[in-house]
Amino acid sequence: MAFLAAAIQMKGGRDKAANLERAERLIGEAARRGAEFAALPEVFSWRGRRDDAPAEAEDLDGPTLTLMARLARELKLYLLAGSIYERVPDQTRSHNTSVLFGPDGARLAVYRKIHLFDVDLPGRVTVRESEAMLNGSEVVCVETALGKVGMTICYDLRFPELYRRLAFAGARIVTIPSAFTFPTGEAHWEVLIRARAIENQCYVIAPAQFGPNVHGFADYGNAMIVDPWGRVVARAADREDIAVGAIDLDYLESVRRNLPALTHVRIRGGQGD
C-alpha cells in the first residue's frame, strides 16, 4: 500500500486567527496535491510570550481542534494537528499536545509531549519550555487504515528509547511536528530524523516551523519526510511550503524483511519495556 503524505512548513505567531487561516490554506493545498495524510508543525496555532500562554491554551474540544476535525472530515484525509497549548485544569502551565484526526473527523489519538526543551546556548538561544508546559507521560501509537502511527513532538527526537518503544508497538509511521531552533537544527535535525527512521525502519513525517520567531531567534525549518532506509523523500524549501512524498508500506516491509534488525534486538530497556 502506498499513499502521499504532506509535512507542512509554516511560521506561527501571536495572531491565532491568522495562524489558523494559514494552516487551513496549507492543509487545503496538501489535499489538492493528493495527500491522504497532512501534518502541521508544533504550536502551529499560537506562539507568543509565556505570560500569555494560559489565556491562549484551549481544551481538546476548543475552536482550534474543532476546526482541524472539520477540515479532516471535509477534505477526507488524516490530519495531524501538530501541537497546541492544551489547557490543564487548576494549572497555569499547559500540555504541548498533538492530536490525530481521521478522514471522518474523529479524534483518533492524543499525545502530550514527554520531553520538554530547557536549554541555554549563551549568546544564541535560551528556551525554558518547562516554565509554560507540563510533561506528558504516555507513549502513543494508534492503528489507522494507513498503518500504525506513533506520535512524538520536537525535542522528543533526541530520545531514541521513545522511538524504539513505538517501533515495538507496531509503528510504521512516526510523526515529529517541530519548532526546532536554528543552531541545534542546523547541526542535528536531519541526522536525527534519518537516524530514527533507520533505527526503527519506519517512515518519519516531520513538519516544522521556520524563520525568525516571536521569541527572538530563528527556527530551522527543513520540514521533511524520510523513508525506512534513511532517504529524504521530500523536503520543504526555505519558506512557507509543503513537503509531499510517498509513504510505501510495501517498501517498508521489504526493508524490514531484508534487514531484520528489529527482530535481533536483545536489549529492550528498563522496567516496563
| Distance from C-alpha of 166 to C-alpha of 159, rounded to nearest angstrom | 12
Catalytic residue among 36, 42, 58, 86: 42
CA dist 49 and 216 (Å) reads 11
Dist. CA 2–CA 22, nearest whole Å = 28
Residue 131 vs residue 174, higher pLDDT? 174
Is residue 240 part of the annotated active site? The answer reads no
Amino acid at 153: I
Domains and CATH numbers, the chain: 2-264 (3.60.110.10)
Q: What is the mean pLDDT of residues 100-110?
A: 98
Closest CA to 28 of 40, 41, 46: 40
| 11 has catalytic annotation | no
DSSP string, 194-220: HHHHHHHT-EEEE-EEEEE-TTSSEEE
| Residue found by looking up cell 533507520 in the block | 198
All residues at 6 or more sequence positions from 36 whose CB lies less than 8 Å from its CB, including other chains: 3, 4, 5, 77, 78, 103, 146
Mean per-residue pLDDT, 82-101:
95
CB 88 within 8 A of CB 81: no
Could you tell me the pLDDT band of residue 70, with boundaries at 50, 70 and 90?
Answer: very high
Crossing angle (nearest 10°) for helices 63-75 and 16-32 = 10
- Which residue bears the cell 476546526? 67
Model confidence at 158: pLDDT above 90: yes
The active-site residue, picked from 11, 58, 154, 202, is: 154
Catalytic residue among 11, 113, 129, 202: 113
Residue with the three cell numbers 489547557: 87
Q: What percent of the chain has pLDDT over 90?
A: 82
Question: Does residue 190 carry a pLDDT above 90?
Answer: yes
Return the H-helix or E-strand segment holding 81: strand 78-86
- Is residue 148 part of the annotated active site? The answer reads no
Asked whether the predicted pLDDT for residue 211 surpasses 90, the reply is no
